[in-house]
Amino acid sequence: MTRAQRLLDLIQVLRGYRRPVAGAVLAAETGVSLRTLYRDIETLKAQGAHIEGEAGLGYVLRPGFMLPPLMFSEEEIEALVLGSRWVSERADDMLGKAARNVLAKIGAVLPDDLKASVEASGMLIGPGDPVPSREGDLATIRQAIRAERKIQVAYADERGNATDRVVWPVALAFYDRVRVLVAWCELRSSFRHFRIDRITALEPTADRFPRRRARLLKEWHTVQGVPEP
Protein backbone atom coordinates (compact mmCIF):
# COMPACT_ATOMS: atom_id res chain seq x y z
CA MET A 1 0.00 0.00 0.00
CA THR A 2 1.32 3.44 -0.93
CA ARG A 3 1.62 6.17 1.67
CA ALA A 4 -1.00 8.26 -0.17
CA GLN A 5 -3.44 5.33 -0.12
CA ARG A 6 -2.75 4.80 3.59
CA LEU A 7 -3.52 8.43 4.38
CA LEU A 8 -6.69 8.24 2.30
CA ASP A 9 -7.81 5.16 4.22
CA LEU A 10 -7.19 6.92 7.53
CA ILE A 11 -9.29 9.92 6.47
CA GLN A 12 -12.10 7.61 5.36
CA VAL A 13 -12.04 5.75 8.69
CA LEU A 14 -12.06 9.01 10.66
CA ARG A 15 -15.06 10.22 8.67
CA GLY A 16 -17.00 7.25 9.98
CA TYR A 17 -16.78 8.51 13.58
CA ARG A 18 -18.54 11.54 15.01
CA ARG A 19 -16.89 11.23 18.41
CA PRO A 20 -13.21 10.78 19.35
CA VAL A 21 -11.92 7.30 18.62
CA ALA A 22 -8.86 5.71 20.20
CA GLY A 23 -5.62 5.56 18.24
CA ALA A 24 -5.44 1.79 18.77
CA VAL A 25 -8.83 1.39 17.06
CA LEU A 26 -7.73 3.54 14.10
CA ALA A 27 -4.48 1.61 13.80
CA ALA A 28 -6.35 -1.70 13.76
CA GLU A 29 -8.85 -0.52 11.14
CA THR A 30 -6.13 0.83 8.85
CA GLY A 31 -3.76 -2.07 9.39
CA VAL A 32 -0.75 -0.08 10.64
CA SER A 33 1.21 0.11 13.86
CA LEU A 34 0.24 2.67 16.49
CA ARG A 35 3.53 4.49 15.88
CA THR A 36 2.79 4.75 12.16
CA LEU A 37 -0.72 5.94 12.90
CA TYR A 38 0.56 8.81 15.04
CA ARG A 39 2.92 9.85 12.23
CA ASP A 40 0.12 9.71 9.68
CA ILE A 41 -2.13 11.86 11.85
CA GLU A 42 0.58 14.49 12.14
CA THR A 43 1.08 14.37 8.36
CA LEU A 44 -2.62 14.92 7.73
CA LYS A 45 -2.69 17.80 10.20
CA ALA A 46 0.19 19.42 8.34
CA GLN A 47 -1.81 19.07 5.11
CA GLY A 48 -4.76 20.93 6.64
CA ALA A 49 -6.92 18.17 8.09
CA HIS A 50 -8.89 19.38 11.12
CA ILE A 51 -8.06 16.43 13.38
CA GLU A 52 -8.52 17.10 17.08
CA GLY A 53 -7.29 14.97 19.97
CA GLU A 54 -4.13 13.32 21.16
CA ALA A 55 -2.72 9.97 22.21
CA GLY A 56 -4.68 8.49 25.10
CA LEU A 57 -7.75 10.67 24.45
CA GLY A 58 -8.68 9.71 20.91
CA TYR A 59 -9.06 11.59 17.62
CA VAL A 60 -11.93 13.10 15.67
CA LEU A 61 -12.02 14.70 12.19
CA ARG A 62 -13.90 17.99 12.06
CA PRO A 63 -15.84 18.90 8.88
CA GLY A 64 -14.25 20.93 6.12
CA PHE A 65 -11.21 18.93 5.00
CA MET A 66 -11.07 18.27 1.25
CA LEU A 67 -8.86 15.49 -0.04
CA PRO A 68 -6.36 16.48 -2.73
CA PRO A 69 -7.15 14.81 -6.08
CA LEU A 70 -3.89 12.84 -6.07
CA MET A 71 -5.37 10.74 -3.26
CA PHE A 72 -7.94 9.05 -5.50
CA SER A 73 -7.33 5.30 -5.57
CA GLU A 74 -7.22 3.50 -8.93
CA GLU A 75 -10.61 1.90 -8.20
CA GLU A 76 -12.11 5.32 -7.41
CA ILE A 77 -10.75 6.72 -10.68
CA GLU A 78 -12.25 3.80 -12.59
CA ALA A 79 -15.60 4.41 -10.87
CA LEU A 80 -15.47 8.10 -11.84
CA VAL A 81 -14.57 7.27 -15.43
CA LEU A 82 -17.29 4.63 -15.76
CA GLY A 83 -19.97 6.84 -14.21
CA SER A 84 -18.99 9.88 -16.26
CA ARG A 85 -18.91 7.89 -19.50
CA TRP A 86 -22.35 6.41 -18.76
CA VAL A 87 -23.80 9.87 -18.14
CA SER A 88 -22.17 11.30 -21.27
CA GLU A 89 -23.73 8.51 -23.38
CA ARG A 90 -27.09 7.99 -21.67
CA ALA A 91 -28.14 11.34 -20.19
CA ASP A 92 -29.27 14.49 -21.97
CA ASP A 93 -26.85 16.84 -23.73
CA MET A 94 -26.37 19.19 -20.77
CA LEU A 95 -25.56 16.41 -18.30
CA GLY A 96 -23.42 14.66 -20.89
CA LYS A 97 -21.34 17.78 -21.41
CA ALA A 98 -21.03 18.25 -17.63
CA ALA A 99 -19.80 14.65 -17.26
CA ARG A 100 -17.11 15.18 -19.91
CA ASN A 101 -16.05 18.39 -18.20
CA VAL A 102 -15.72 16.52 -14.89
CA LEU A 103 -13.35 14.00 -16.46
CA ALA A 104 -11.31 16.77 -18.07
CA LYS A 105 -11.01 18.67 -14.77
CA ILE A 106 -10.00 15.55 -12.86
CA GLY A 107 -7.43 14.62 -15.49
CA ALA A 108 -5.96 18.13 -15.41
CA VAL A 109 -4.99 17.95 -11.73
CA LEU A 110 -3.99 14.31 -11.34
CA PRO A 111 -0.32 13.32 -11.29
CA ASP A 112 0.95 11.79 -14.53
CA ASP A 113 0.67 8.15 -13.48
CA LEU A 114 -2.95 8.52 -12.39
CA LYS A 115 -3.79 10.78 -15.35
CA ALA A 116 -2.81 7.88 -17.60
CA SER A 117 -5.36 5.74 -15.75
CA VAL A 118 -8.11 8.15 -16.84
CA GLU A 119 -6.96 8.44 -20.44
CA ALA A 120 -6.38 4.71 -20.95
CA SER A 121 -9.18 3.39 -18.75
CA GLY A 122 -10.68 0.06 -19.77
CA MET A 123 -14.09 1.07 -18.40
CA LEU A 124 -16.29 1.31 -21.50
CA ILE A 125 -20.00 1.89 -22.08
CA GLY A 126 -21.65 -0.24 -24.75
CA PRO A 127 -23.80 1.30 -27.50
CA GLY A 128 -27.49 1.75 -26.83
CA ASP A 129 -30.60 3.05 -28.54
CA PRO A 130 -31.25 6.80 -28.17
CA VAL A 131 -33.81 7.61 -25.51
CA PRO A 132 -36.68 9.77 -26.84
CA SER A 133 -37.31 12.93 -24.85
CA ARG A 134 -37.16 16.67 -25.19
CA GLU A 135 -33.84 17.96 -23.88
CA GLY A 136 -35.39 21.12 -22.45
CA ASP A 137 -37.83 19.12 -20.33
CA LEU A 138 -35.02 17.34 -18.47
CA ALA A 139 -33.20 20.59 -17.74
CA THR A 140 -36.44 22.18 -16.49
CA ILE A 141 -37.22 19.19 -14.28
CA ARG A 142 -33.73 19.16 -12.77
CA GLN A 143 -34.00 22.85 -11.97
CA ALA A 144 -37.41 22.32 -10.35
CA ILE A 145 -36.00 19.46 -8.26
CA ARG A 146 -33.13 21.64 -7.03
CA ALA A 147 -35.42 24.61 -6.31
CA GLU A 148 -38.16 22.42 -4.77
CA ARG A 149 -40.82 23.98 -6.98
CA LYS A 150 -43.94 22.40 -8.46
CA ILE A 151 -44.39 21.81 -12.17
CA GLN A 152 -47.53 21.44 -14.27
CA VAL A 153 -47.47 18.60 -16.80
CA ALA A 154 -49.71 17.22 -19.49
CA TYR A 155 -49.30 13.47 -19.43
CA ALA A 156 -50.49 10.59 -21.64
CA ASP A 157 -50.51 7.09 -20.12
CA GLU A 158 -49.77 3.84 -21.99
CA ARG A 159 -53.36 3.80 -23.36
CA GLY A 160 -53.13 7.38 -24.59
CA ASN A 161 -55.39 8.84 -21.90
CA ALA A 162 -54.34 12.45 -21.30
CA THR A 163 -54.44 14.31 -17.97
CA ASP A 164 -53.18 17.64 -16.68
CA ARG A 165 -51.45 17.44 -13.32
CA VAL A 166 -49.49 19.49 -10.83
CA VAL A 167 -46.63 17.45 -9.42
CA TRP A 168 -43.78 17.90 -6.96
CA PRO A 169 -40.67 16.53 -8.73
CA VAL A 170 -38.60 14.49 -6.30
CA ALA A 171 -36.09 12.57 -8.44
CA LEU A 172 -35.15 11.50 -11.96
CA ALA A 173 -34.38 7.86 -12.74
CA PHE A 174 -32.25 7.05 -15.78
CA TYR A 175 -32.68 3.63 -17.40
CA ASP A 176 -31.12 2.37 -20.61
CA ARG A 177 -34.28 2.96 -22.66
CA VAL A 178 -36.43 5.29 -20.60
CA ARG A 179 -36.23 8.16 -18.13
CA VAL A 180 -38.71 8.39 -15.29
CA LEU A 181 -39.80 11.28 -13.09
CA VAL A 182 -40.54 10.41 -9.46
CA ALA A 183 -43.05 12.92 -8.10
CA TRP A 184 -45.86 13.54 -5.66
CA CYS A 185 -49.00 13.97 -7.75
CA GLU A 186 -51.65 16.38 -6.45
CA LEU A 187 -54.29 14.79 -8.68
CA ARG A 188 -53.79 11.33 -7.13
CA SER A 189 -52.57 12.47 -3.69
CA SER A 190 -49.74 9.96 -3.81
CA PHE A 191 -46.38 9.29 -5.38
CA ARG A 192 -46.45 8.56 -9.09
CA HIS A 193 -43.90 7.71 -11.77
CA PHE A 194 -44.02 9.50 -15.12
CA ARG A 195 -42.15 8.45 -18.22
CA ILE A 196 -40.50 11.55 -19.63
CA ASP A 197 -41.31 10.57 -23.23
CA ARG A 198 -45.04 10.60 -22.34
CA ILE A 199 -45.00 14.16 -20.99
CA THR A 200 -46.51 16.19 -23.81
CA ALA A 201 -46.22 19.59 -22.14
CA LEU A 202 -44.42 20.92 -19.09
CA GLU A 203 -44.55 24.27 -17.32
CA PRO A 204 -42.61 25.25 -14.19
CA THR A 205 -44.44 27.17 -11.47
CA ALA A 206 -43.37 29.54 -8.70
CA ASP A 207 -45.05 27.40 -6.02
CA ARG A 208 -42.72 25.66 -3.59
CA PHE A 209 -43.24 22.19 -2.12
CA PRO A 210 -45.14 22.26 1.19
CA ARG A 211 -42.58 19.72 2.50
CA ARG A 212 -38.84 19.48 1.96
CA ARG A 213 -37.70 17.32 -0.92
CA ALA A 214 -35.35 15.28 1.28
CA ARG A 215 -38.31 14.27 3.44
CA LEU A 216 -40.42 13.44 0.38
CA LEU A 217 -37.64 11.31 -1.05
CA LYS A 218 -37.33 9.44 2.23
CA GLU A 219 -41.08 8.83 2.22
CA TRP A 220 -40.89 7.53 -1.35
CA HIS A 221 -38.15 5.08 -0.37
CA THR A 222 -40.35 3.83 2.48
CA VAL A 223 -43.53 3.54 0.41
CA GLN A 224 -41.77 1.78 -2.48
CA GLY A 225 -39.63 -0.41 -0.25
CA VAL A 226 -36.51 0.81 -2.03
CA PRO A 227 -33.35 0.90 0.12
CA GLU A 228 -31.84 4.35 0.50
CA PRO A 229 -28.42 4.77 -1.16
Tell me the C-alpha distance between 143 and 140, whole Å.
Answer: 5
Model confidence pLDDT, tens digit, residues 91-148: 888 888 898 888 887 777 676 766 777 777 788 888 777 666 666 688 899 999 999 9
- Is residue 184 exposed (0-12), middle (13-18) or buried (19+ Cβ within 10 Å)? buried
Smallest Cα–Cα separation from 14: which of 30, 3, 32? 30
Fold of 135-224: SH3 type barrels. (2.30.30)
Model confidence pLDDT, tens digit, residues 12-40: 899 888 899 999 999 999 999 999 999 99
Q: Is 0.85 topped by the overall pTM? A: no
CB atoms within 10 A of CB 62: 10
Please, what is the end-to-end C-alpha distance for the chain in angstroms? 29
Q: Does this chain's domain 3-67 share its CATH topology with 135-224?
A: no
CA angle 150, 151, 152 (to 5 degrees): 130
Instruction: Evaluate whether the domain defined by 3-67 bears CATH number 1.10.10.10.
Output: yes
Domain edges within the chain: 3-67, 70-119, 135-224
Smallest Cα–Cα separation from 70: which of 116, 7, 114? 114
